[in-house]
Structure 1
Amino acid sequence: AIQIHGGYGYLSDFPVERIYRDVRVTQIYEGTSEVQKILIGRALGQA
């Protein structure tokens, strides 16, 4: 979103800024993508 909207993506006046912030926090909260891959792999192995 930041690449598409440029500087406007950083301004709090635009909804895209909040969406970007929320996505980053969610990624950090849930763990790295590598950890997620490991957890998904384990869950699939148990199914």
Structure 2
Amino acid sequence: GAGFGGYGYMKEYPVEKMMRDAKITQIYEGTNQIQREVIALQLIRENLQKQG
């Protein structure tokens, strides 16, 4: 009864926390990916301008 309910709560809570953490990580990594692509595009443009 009560013991099982407590176990269910303890079992489910870390999963919710991991899901939240994963979502934050995805947003963070997504931002890094965008920045990398922007920097790459800038470098490509600079190289094209140098080549004329």
Same structural fold, with TM-score higher than 0.5 when normalized by the shorter chain: no
Query: The TM-score by the shorter chain falls in which range?
Result: 0.3 to 0.5
Rg larger in structure: 2
When normalised by structure 2's length, the TM-score is 0.34
Higher relative contact order (CA 8 A, sep 6+): 1
Give 1 or 2: higher helix fraction.
2
What TM-score does the superposition give when structure 1 sets the normalisation length? Answer: 0.38
